[in-house]
Amino acid sequence: MEKRAEYDVITDEVAIPYEVAYGPTWTRFFEGLKNEKIYGSKCEKCNRILVPARSYCPRCFVEIKNFIEVDQEGTVISWVLTEYEYFGMPTKPPFIGALIRLDGTDVNFLHLIGGFDLSDPDNVRKRVKNGMKVKALWNDDKKGTIMDIKYFTPVK
Amino acid sequence: MGRPVAIVGSGQTRHGRRFDVSYPELVKEAVDAVFENTGISPQDIDGVVSGTMPSMMEGVALTHFYFADVLRSVGKPILKTETCGSTGVSLAITGYYWIASGLADLVLVVGSEKMNEGDSQATMTTVVEPFYQRYFIAGAPGVFSMQCQEWSNRFGIPEDKVREAATRITIDHHNDAFDNPYAHIKKRLTPDEVNNARIITYPIRLWDVCPNSDGACAMLFASEKMAKKLGLKSAWVKGVGYSGEEYWFGDSEKAIWQCAIDAARQAYDMAGIKNPRKELDVAEVYNPFTYQEMLYYECFGFCGFGEACDLVLQGVFSREGELPCDPSGGTLCTNPIGATGLNRVAEAALQVTGQAGAHQIPGAKLGLAHAMGGVDQFNGVMILGSE
């Protein structure tokens, strides 16, 4: 039924460069990472501590002007081991993406779990559990990006 | 509340790897089918709604311009609706709004995707901004694996029970697909085959995941006056709901998933549905992943939270069950993303008008259609009735 290869196919690629402005909040958040600090913000209306830092609360839509340094330890809410690579993916597999509830905050912080061998999925499954405690491990060479945190690593 | 809105017909293409036609020719196949199935003339439509995945998927930014000729839209108003995976239900809701508002009597609604021409998972990577979330969003499987783990952990569902229920779902749907002439993947699967299939992202294995499909779906939405004049078997829109969540993935819980709960609640309230499991006759739930289908059963009130696995294993949601879900095989067997949600609406419309053929649920009068989009961010629901 398939008539594949009967008709011509061309290849095409679209590549467009972008300049992306951080604005004041992201600039300050990433400066914080450079100094090994994770900044969140407290919404004065719902009292939630949101991380990463915000200039407004997405639920109350009130302006937020504070920056609060949050704990670098937290609890794993969920995780996924990625072993394949998609085109344009900035993080090279294998890696473990995870939602981490940093202590004292009210939302989940998306980052990596690492610090041990990821080559064997069965091993990873034994090692990583929802509810486990993890803490941030920093890169020596910090560039003011989200990857200044190398990953979160299990707390012994 | 707007005017009553009817769905008077649909047209779906054959799905698969469709390198036998260009993209506009694929769209044309669905558009031609809906006009042929209804006997309606393209001259009689008042406007067109068109949609696909975000344009990174298509490689052409202005798809409704690219498809203008085959959409029969020359000289007519045209709208584009695009909400990632939920595009299809958003398209249907756009068509509904247009008719319900009283500003049109007959609207053509078309969703399409040529997934094999582009790169769906690379597109998923570009759905998020480049300085934070893009580092961690590894395509759809990555997002859904995390959601599944959050869900099973939240309700303490044992891993082997989740696996057993997911296996039942994929075996059932791939069987169901044999009765749907438009379905892409039709396969008789055994539990061993499913349970030992390669892991995509733990705990999701190959047969838990939808395929890449090329395909299009076209539907005609009409006012009551127009539907009566046409005299076709019509499905009536009884309720619509759509809800979204915050942008940041970690800001909202994905197990008790508020936007899915709210979208269903909006649609139920409008349709006057109090007990969906009892009142609905059929549901076309968007199920790109087996696990997510179960999560939807709970968010849509088909059962309590943490109960879906047990009920799946009891057969409550299978073809002969109390509330048959995805008798078409669903998204799990056929996934042309920009058309997928509209396929759900088309299938629900076929069911409540008794035109679903071999996969007809006998006597179906009230059906649900649903789709999800973004990084677990949007859910849309439409309720269709036979009168």
Contacts of B46 (CB under 8 A, 6+ apart): B76, B77, B104, B105, B106, B107
Mean pLDDT of B327-336: 98
> A-contacting residues of B 344-363, CB under 8 Å?
none
Residue A41 within a domain: yes
| Residue B126 scores a pLDDT above 70 | yes
CA gap B358, A110 in Å, rounded: 45
Element (DSSP H or E) covering residue A134: strand A133-138
pLDDT band per the 50, 70, 90 thresholds, residue B202: confident
- The backbone torsions φ and ψ at residue A12, rounded to the nearest 5 degrees and listed phi first, read -145, 150
Mean pLDDT of B170-188: 98
Q: What is the pLDDT of residue A88?
A: 87
Mean pLDDT of B17-41: 97
Cβ of A97 within 8 Å of Cβ of B142? The answer is yes
Least-confidence region, from A65-69, B93-97, B197-201, B240-244: B197-201
- The backbone torsions φ and ψ at residue B172, rounded to the nearest 5 degrees and listed phi first, read -60, -50
Cβ of A80 within 8 Å of Cβ of B202? The answer is yes
> A-contacting residues of B 132-151, CB under 8 Å?
132-139, 141-142, 145-147, 149-150
Mean pLDDT of B157-162: 95
Amino acid residing at B27: V
- The torsion angle over the Cα atoms of residues B347, B348, B352 and B353, rounded to 10 degrees, is -40
Number of domains in chain A: 1
Q: What is the pLDDT of residue B193?
A: 97
Do you know the residue count of chain B? 387
Counting Cα atoms < 13 Å in the Cβ hemisphere of B368 gives 35
Residue A7 within a domain: no
| Three-state secondary-structure class, residue A69 | strand
For an interface test with A, give the residue of B18, B117, B135 to mutate (most A CBs within 10 A).
Answer: B135
CA gap B196, B13 in Å, rounded: 33
For an interface test with B, give the residue of A108, A129, A151 to mutate (most B CBs within 10 A).
Answer: A108
| Residue B306 scores a pLDDT above 90 | yes
Mean pLDDT of B146-160: 94
Cβ of B131 within 8 Å of Cβ of A6? The answer is no
pLDDT band per the 50, 70, 90 thresholds, residue B84: very high
CA gap B148, B294 in Å, rounded: 10
Which residues make beta-bridge pairs with B235? Answer: B7
| Residue A4 scores a pLDDT above 70 | no
**Residue B16: closest CA among chain A residues belongs to which residue?**
A2
Based on C-alpha coordinates, what's the Rg of chain B? 19
Residue A27 within a domain: yes
CA nearest to B370, candidates B230, B271, B267, B294 = B267
Question: How would CATH label the architecture of B5-120+211-385?
Answer: 3-Layer(aba) Sandwich (3.40)
Cβ of A58 within 8 Å of Cβ of B251? The answer is yes
| Three-state secondary-structure class, residue A102 | strand
| Residue A2 scores a pLDDT above 60 | no
Q: What is the pLDDT of residue B139?
A: 86
ipTM here: 0.94
| Of residues B124, B134, B139, nearest to A90 (C-beta) | B134
| Residue B294 scores a pLDDT above 80 | yes
- The backbone torsions φ and ψ at residue B82, rounded to the nearest 5 degrees and listed phi first, read -145, 110
| Of residues B122, B146, B199, nearest to A78 (C-beta) | B146
| Three-state secondary-structure class, residue A32 | helix
- Whether the ω angle into residue B24 lies within 30 degrees of 0, i.e. cis, is no
CB B330 within 8 A of CB B179: no
CB atoms within 10 A of CB A38: 23
> A-contacting residues of B 270-299, CB under 8 Å?
none
Q: What is the pLDDT of residue A1?
A: 52
CA gap B32, B38 in Å, rounded: 10
pLDDT band per the 50, 70, 90 thresholds, residue A5: low
Domain ranges of chain B: 5-120+211-385
Question: What are the distances in angstroms from CA B158 to CA A126, B102, B209?
Answer: 15, 51, 21
Residue A101 within a domain: yes
| Of residues B19, B136, B254, nearest to A9 (C-beta) | B19
| Residue B207 scores a pLDDT above 60 | yes
- How does pLDDT run across B245-279, given as a tens digit for each residue? 999 999 999 999 999 999 999 999 999 999 999 99
For an interface test with A, give the residue of B136, B137, B262 to mutate (most A CBs within 10 A).
Answer: B136
Nearest-CA distance from B384 to chain A in Å? 32
CA nearest to A149, candidates A115, A126, A120 = A115
Q: What is the pLDDT of residue B153?
A: 92
Q: What is the pLDDT of residue A84?
A: 87
Does the CB of B153 have a partner CB in chain A at under 8 Å? yes
Does the CB of B199 have a partner CB in chain A at under 8 Å? yes
Does the CB of B246 have a partner CB in chain A at under 8 Å? yes
pLDDT band per the 50, 70, 90 thresholds, residue B138: confident
- Residues on chain A touching B130 (C-beta within 8 angstroms): 18, 20, 90
Least-confidence region, from A85-89, A146-150, B33-37, B93-97: A85-89
CA angle, residues B213, B181, B281, in degrees to nearest 5: 100
Cβ of B251 within 8 Å of Cβ of A50? The answer is yes
Which residues make beta-bridge pairs with A82? Answer: A95
- How does pLDDT run across A22-72, given as a tens digit for each residue? 999 999 999 999 999 999 999 999 999 999 999 999 999 999 999 999 999
| Residue B36 scores a pLDDT above 70 | yes
